[in-house]
Amino acid sequence: MGNSIGGRKKAKVMKINGEIFKIKTPVRAWDIVKDYPGHVLLESESVKKFGIRAKPIEPQQELRPKKIYFLVELPKLPEEKVPRRARSDVRMSAKDRLECLMLSRRSISDLSIARPTSLAPGGSEPNPGPVRVKVRLPRAQLAKVVEGSRDEAEVAEKIIDLFMDKAGGSPVVQRV
């Protein structure tokens, strides 16, 4: 039993299956990753600290002795597809679409008019946020409104008109 001076000059690399292999340092990350296409090296400390968001080691970076590294495969990301435009089954002319757009804008402006200026106690400032409107319609009347409308925007507009008529122009709005 003598005194010995020496240290480990090896770094440990662990694969995802638990297999560990030791590498003599100095060595660059590229020398390990080149045998495993699609894989990257992660430092154990960064994985411990950041988890899945740990940044991979650059290929030209040297591995340090007495450190543990993880060799993991990068996940294959699906190709980004351009979102398809939703089209309705109803074929409308440009004039009909413009009219529908104008009606939907009008119904939105009707909602902003129906909102009171302030619901805060004291009336100091408006309270932004979702608004809950409660309207009670008989089922037959609702069916008639839906049946006599071309699309959802027109249904919403008719329901708002019914709401405004019943409320007498000053609806009671409950904040959520």
Rounded Cα distance, 129 and 176, in Å: 8
SS3 67: coil
The two three-digit tokens of residue 123, written as one number: 């009336």
Rounded Cα distance, 72 and 70, in Å: 6
Domains of the chain: 10-73 (3.10.20.30), 130-176 (no CATH)
Per-residue pLDDT at 75 exceeds 50:
yes
List the beta bridge partners of residue 131: 175
Rounded Cα distance, 158 and 148, in Å: 10
Average of pLDDT values for 80-93? 66
Read off the pLDDT of residues 127-173 as tens digits, 9 standing for 90 and up: 566 767 677 778 888 888 888 888 888 888 888 887 777 766 555 55
SS3 108: helix
**Global pTM?**
0.42
Read off the pLDDT of residues 23-69 as tens digits, 9 standing for 90 and up: 998 899 999 999 888 899 999 999 889 888 889 999 999 999 989 99
